Chain A
Amino acid sequence: MSTPDAFSQAGKTAVLQNIHGTMEFLRKYAPFNQMEPAHLTFLVENCELRFYAEGDCIISPDDGVVQHFYIVKQGRVHGQRPHTAKRGTDTTFEVIVGECFPMAALMGERATRTAHLAAEDTFCFLLNKPAFVKLVSSSPVFRDFAMRGVSSLLDLVNQQAQMRAVESLGEQYSLETSIGELALHHPVSCLPSRPLNEAVAMMQQENVGSIVIVDEDLHPQGIFTLRDLRRAIGTGTTDLSQPISQFMTHDPFYLPPDATAFDAAIAMTERHIAHVCVVENGLLQGVISERDLFSLQRVDLVHLAQTIRHADRVDALVVIRSRIKQLVDNMLAHGASSTQITHIVTLLNDHTVCRVIELAIEHMGDPGVPFTWLCFGSEGRQEQTLYTDQDNGILFEAADAAEAAHIRGRLLPLAERINRDLDTCGFSLCKGNIMASNPQLCLSRQEWSRRFSSFVREATPENLLGSTIYFDLRSIWGPSEGCEQLRRDLLDEIKGNSLFQRMMADNALRHRPPVGRFRDFVVARKGEGKDTLDLKVQGLTPFVDGARLLALSNDIGTCNTLERLRKLVEKGVIEKKDGAAYEEAYHFIQQTRMQHHQQQARDELPYSNRLDPDTLNVLDRRILRESFRQAQRLQASLAVRYQL
């Protein structure tokens, strides 16, 4: 029977009960859930079901060219390779219910390189090779899956997330849209010699808020916005026939056309601007305004940041903070990634902290000494979620201990006020008293330096714990030079101290990812968190600790975990492929955590990082498990590197 006949036949005859049941079973898993019914029927009708008792070899390199495609119906299968160094074998991967093997060998028409063993009593569906080939040639979905293997799973999730985003927006916009697509393509522009009144007339006519000043070859020279106009008119002495070049803002900020809407929004927020030029090869291509972004996403980001910076009372900040929560909700719902969201939350939190400090100074009077507001921990790594507590300190310059004590005395009341106001704004007070109002954390640069070097030299458990918090530091407000100097001293100190590095490595292995060698997820057996796992401590912390250790030991100053991983790849400390896998895994766990928090907020439950993996859909579950496996791999590599 030729292939099309076989499929139409499968479609026509009444589907037998057991065939139907098996199709229903397979439909819970990718790629079967996306295959056409006729193709899926064909697959099932040509299957056989086999049983393998625990320890049975299902397929091995000695069996020659692979003749079957296997789908696990029940049980678990381990891929095992002979140990390179030791005797015995090493489990390299695990295949669970709904998953398939051996894809690469089957597509490559060769034997498997790994022996596949039943890890427990296992049933597998087997599809013979002729039927597999037919299916690959007739089902595009199946072909796609077979060609791309497991990596297509991650793409699938991304596709799903984007599809959801598009559905809820009702249009094909997302923060990932390039500004080249969004920007006004015939930007309003004029030569520098154009008189001010004529330029403004052009803006009026085109109903835009900005005009770009370009030379004859369209190289942007400056930008003139309504804000500039206000300034020009406000003086009351301006001659409106003067050339616009006298009023414009020189060297306007620009982005390339392939930058995203998100990049533009961040740039506007950071720089307090409302227009970004789109420039390619030095030539003006378009302009994108804050308004364009609003109409796009209803992302109130720029506006929120401005409101924060102009808030005149702490109470006003409290109100604005609740809108940040809405913003994050919206963005999550619209398919923003966890990286984008942490970025935004960090940005807005920074704005809030700065404003709180400024307001406190206004109220209590300037202490008269320059100081730098430091933050530590997740805030220092720029990885905050909305639910966060304070981890901060103050750094100042002092000539000697006496001066330091004197300055400390002047700064502490202010710090206390700032801590209290931040608490009012929703940054809850730190239970461990890691706050600037703590005299031990309001220090001169020399004092900080001494403190840090004692962490490195005297590796007590408290100091080790301290290093995991304080060594992720960043300056938020005030001059940043002192903080950078402190960081350089710290890196020099750690570079030569292998004992400390080893202790940190030991510490980084403390939190084990919740995947077992012989089970799929390891969840708490009893207590309040029964059947759940901790996404933060068991999932993210291994990456954070691992990246910190490797970065500090390799003279890398950045604190953000993903940044650290990227720098480590650049320096060749970790392999590019590993870095990408870690990043992907970290990102997925973080995303899962945020969605979990969002769900808890909707259900009016207290927020927690504990998740029951059974509440996830099958695909997310599998990817989460793979993500934890990456954390396990990172830890294993640390254990080897530091010989633990």
Chain B
Amino acid sequence: MSMFWFNPRGPKLPPEQQQRIDELPRPHAPQTVPLRQQRLVVLDLETTGLHLKRDLVIAIGAVVIEDGAIDYSQQFECTLCRQVKVTESVLIHGIAPSELANGLPPAEALLSFMEFAAGSVILAFHAPFDQRMLGRALKRELGYTMDHTFLDVADLAPMLFPEAMIHRGGLDHWLDYFNIHIPQRHNASADAMATAEIALILLHRAQRVGLTSLDELAQRLRCWQRARKAAFNSI
């Protein structure tokens, strides 16, 4: 029996888009290049909710840290065209259904983002969430399997600033701690910028404590996460 409607390799895309997917650069693993020279993409997603299987990505915001600075000429901001029921989450992300209707087609939006991200390591606050939401969307819309490296700012922060005594803090806790003022929270671009500003402080501290390459930083983070998990389990 032919299951013509079932394509295990994902949706059927126009050849032009398929070609762009094929041309996407391969993600880099964290390398031993000095932290300062690494291009990093700081990402924030707005979603219809927090359910990893059910909810949808509706906006993508990203900024780039290159040469140790946030580069204002490289920014990504885009709303996805989605038909969604109005739920209470609209109160958080503040994107009206009409605005969603005017967004970019999801495939195009995601593809543009992947082109923007190129192969760079991606930073995000609560990165596992963004990683899984984005991964699922890419799979569904583009049939693309993402294996970019993600680093979680929510873990890097307490690892590098234990004196803050913030253990499982949200973005607001850290913004508060670093005294960073963001004009508009819960907007993908503004949150990405906020996360990036925290990241600048974290990278600065990392270099001071001798973590001079991204590879070392990623390793130290994995150790720290394991230790925390062990400590948590032993309680």
Contacts and interface: CB of A to CB of B under 8 A. Distances in A.
Interface in B62-95: 63, 67-73, 75, 77
Nearest to A75: B179
A24 B183 contact: yes
A50 B69 contact: yes
B180 interface: yes
Contact of B201 (A25, A46, A48, A121): A121
A74 B179 contact: yes
A49 to B, nearest CB: 4
B69 A121 contact: no
Contacts of B178: 121
Interface string A8-37: 000000001111011011000000000000
B210 to A, nearest CB: 15
Contact of B189 (A16, A24, A25, A49): A16
B71 A48 contact: yes
Contacts of B77: 16-18
A49 B70 contact: yes
A24 B182 CA distance: 12
A48 B179 contact: no
Contact of A51 (B72, B192, B200): B200
Contact of B200 (A44, A45, A50): A50
A47 B193 CA distance: 14
Nearest to B66: A48
Nearest to A49: B70
A126 interface: yes
Contacts of A51: 197, 200-201, 204
A53 interface: yes
Contact of B72 (A25, A45, A52): A45
Given A74-B180, A121-B179, A126-B69, A18 B75 contact: yes
B187 A48 contact: no
Contact of B190 (A18, A50, A52): A18
A50 B204 CA distance: 10
A16 B193 CA distance: 12
B181 A46 contact: no
A18 B200 CA distance: 16
B61 interface: yes
Interface majority SS (helix, strand, loop, mixed), chain B? mixed
Nearest to A15: B77
A44 B193 CA distance: 14
A17 B72 contact: no
Given A17-B61, A18-B63, A46 B73 contact: yes
B183 A21 contact: yes
Nearest to B193: A18
Contacts of B190: 17-18, 21
A48 B63 CA distance: 11
B183 A25 contact: yes
Interface string B193-232: 1000100110011001000000000000000000000000
A17 B187 contact: yes
A45 B75 CA distance: 9
Contact of B69 (A21, A22, A48, A74): A48
Nearest to B75: A16
B72 A74 contact: no
A69 interface: no
B184 interface: yes
Contacts of A628: none
A123 interface: yes
Interface majority SS (helix, strand, loop, mixed), chain A? mixed
A47 B67 CA distance: 13
B181 A49 contact: no
Given A17-B77, A24-B183, A49 B200 contact: yes
Contacts of A52: 204
A52 B187 CA distance: 26
A617 to B, nearest CB: 19
Given A24-B183, A51-B197, A121-B178, A19 B75 contact: yes
Given A51-B197, A53-B204, A19 B72 contact: yes
Contact of A50 (B68, B75, B184): B68
Contacts of A47: 72
Contacts of A19: 72, 75
B72 A46 contact: yes
Nearest to B182: A21
A95 B201 CA distance: 21
A74 B200 CA distance: 13
A126 B69 CA distance: 9
A121 B63 CA distance: 21
Contacts of A24: 183
B137 to A, nearest CB: 21
Residue among B73, B178, B187 with max Cβ neighbours from chain A (10 Å): B73
Contacts of A48: 67, 69-72
B173 to A, nearest CB: 17
A52 B200 CA distance: 9
A51 B63 CA distance: 15
A604 B179 CA distance: 38
B213 to A, nearest CB: 19
B202 to A, nearest CB: 9
A48 B72 CA distance: 5
B75 A49 contact: no
Contacts of A17: 61, 77, 184, 187, 189-190
B94 to A, nearest CB: 12
A504 B200 CA distance: 52
A584 B69 CA distance: 40
Nearest to A124: B69
A323 B176 CA distance: 53
Nearest to A46: B73
B203 to A, nearest CB: 8
Contacts of B192: 18
B190 to A, nearest CB: 6
Interface in A501-559: none
B177 to A, nearest CB: 11
Contact of B73 (A21, A25, A45, A50): A45
A124 B153 CA distance: 21
Nearest to A17: B189
A573 to B, nearest CB: 45
Interface of B: 61, 63, 67-73, 75, 77, 178-181, 183-184, 187, 189-190, 192-193, 197, 200-201, 204-205, 208
The 9 closest A-B pairs by CB, nearest first: A17-B189, A48-B69, A51-B200, A49-B70, A47-B72, A50-B69, A18-B193, A21-B183, A16-B77
23 contacts: A17-B77, A17-B184, A17-B189, A18-B75, A21-B183, A21-B190, A21-B193, A22-B72, A25-B183, A45-B72, A48-B70, A49-B72, A50-B70, A50-B200, A51-B197, A51-B200, A51-B201, A53-B204, A53-B205, A74-B180, A121-B178, A121-B179, A123-B200
Given A45-B73, A53-B204, 17 more contacts: A17-B187, A17-B190, A18-B189, A21-B184, A21-B193, A22-B72, A44-B72, A48-B67, A48-B71, A48-B72, A49-B69, A50-B70, A52-B204, A53-B205, A53-B208, A121-B179, A123-B197
Interface of A: 16-19, 21-22, 24-25, 44-53, 74, 121, 123, 126
